[in-house]
Structure 1
């Protein structure tokens, strides 16, 4: 079936004019004259059979039909741009790049990565560990791991795991000691903080301790520091279960209190919604979500 599409030049002119709401700015962006933009927009309106802009005012304005059409055209052009970028920069054999925080990389992804490499030895996985959000097209990133509520416009999001926070300590630190039962007893321990003190405050309040205890103790800018500090026996840390699961299983760390705290946030694997996934990228996505699911049933 033949597609009934207007000329691409007309669509580009309309999208630029609707985004800027200014013909001169659209012309500068497209490196054409203002008259050329106006002509292309008029051709598009003739093609679709309706006016897209209000005529007669000093300032360019979209009509309701134009607003709806603009959103559809903008999404379509972005999809074409994203697919083109991937085709240009993702030939066969190109490394598969994953963006995530250093904490997630070191504590969760890297210890499991050998299993994926054994399953797909032809795929070269590269980890871009940073606390900065990556731009998929600009940074040539295939996947990103985001910590949030799973609502990411224009991105597919697969939950890896929920935020279930536990109070943990080095096994040697707790040897022969019972869990603190009062503010005074808890005050004898150093509290280790990951990025901010808010999680500790919430946990202390839920567990019946004084929230003011959260004001003391060292603060680390990302979770690797807190994990290494608690492993070294410096004090108690409140950390996601999935980032310390292996330490608990190996008895390097122990869970100090039976209570855990489940927050509203989680860890999600995300990628552009409409961009086609390479075969090796789809394989990595399925492996990663499978690893997360397997963790749920592992003792």
Structure 2
């Protein structure tokens, strides 16, 4: 018999009936009807090709075959229970591993992780994700990416804030002195007074009075050293929380995502 076709529910019913030697009492334990118990037992007997119970006038009696099989069956159920406990312990891990761009981690993510940790018994491991994320190579629970809607098979994403950009600088900044960085998306034309590696460094340069930077609204709102020098403009790229679809079933991942997106 193939392992994938094990009639586990019927075996559980058989175990209960064998312990009570009564379909009625087994039905009470399992919260079903005695007829349902009898049906499951008969179906199991058909699958196994052997009789499990001698039906007496007032009670049941195990057949020799059933007597021999029960110890191994009950040992198997104990192994199942241990497997479930191990899986539950893994879900209850106090460690969450994330990857995110360095500037995003420093300016937006870290303060929120600190606030979350104050109310939850959890420890974070955060790695850099400036060159993308490969879940097949990293032991990650969650990652933050910047770009358009994630379109990778097997990955699920949830957007953080709005996909919008805004020009920032000190109040008297010269709008002609542009600070560029990958993803800034400045309109064509014009020159740049400075080019840096990421939006975080662009904000630092703007705070220092070097010029104006075009950065994601989410980062701009987290920095008090600059002001918005115009209205936010919709953009194709934004910040996304991403993970392989099965990992979104983890309670610890769902709880953190809810806290970061509320």
Q: Which band: TM-score by shorter chain?
A: 0.5 to 0.7
Task: Note closer, same or farther for the CA distance 1:238–1:276 as it changes in structure 2 (3 Å cut).
Answer: closer
SS of equivalent residue, structure 1 residue 200: coil
Instruction: Look at both structures and tell me which one has the larger radius of gyration over its CA atoms.
Output: 2
- Consecutive unaligned residues of structure 1, counting only runs of 5 or more, are 7-85, 175-179, 181-185, 202-210, 291-299
CA distance in 1, matches of 2:140, 2:229: 39
8 Å CA contact 1:123–1:280 kept in 2: the answer is: no
Distance apart, 1:153 and its partner CA:
1.6
Large movers: runs of 4+ above 4 Å: 2-6, 89-92
Name 2:202's counterpart in structure 1: 226
1:68 maps to what in 2?
Answer: none
Secondary structure of 1:212's counterpart equals coil
| CA deviation after TM superposition for structure 1 residue 279, in Å | 2.8
Answer yes or no: is the 8 Å Cα contact 1:134–1:141 preserved in 2.
Answer: no
User: 238, 241, 252: which is aligned to 2:217?
Assistant: 241
Counterpart position of 2:186: 200
Give the CA deviation at 1:131.
0.8
1:165, 1:260 within 8 Å by CA — same for their partners in 2? yes
- SS in structure 2 at match of 1:149: coil
Residues 87-129 of structure 1 show CA distances to partners (whole Å, capped at 9, x for unaligned) of 6x95754521111111211121112222211221x11012112
Count of residues in correspondence between the two structures: 180
Deviations 1:139-167 (A, max 9, x none): 10100112222333211211112321111
**Mapped partners of 1:99, 1:273: distance in 2:** 16
- Residue by residue over 1:248-288, the C-alpha shift from the partner in whole angstroms, topping out at 9 and shown as x without a partner, is xx4x312223x332112221111111246433222112211
TM-score (norm 1): 0.53
Counterpart of 1:107? 107
The match for 1:191 is: 178
- Could you tell me how far apart the structure 2 residues matched to 1:169 and 1:150 are? 30
Deviates more, 1:218-227 or 1:267-276: 267-276
Counterpart contact for 1:99–1:130, Cα < 8 Å: yes
Would the alpha carbon gap of residues 242 and 106 (structure 1) be closer, same or farther in structure 2, given more than 3 Å must change? same
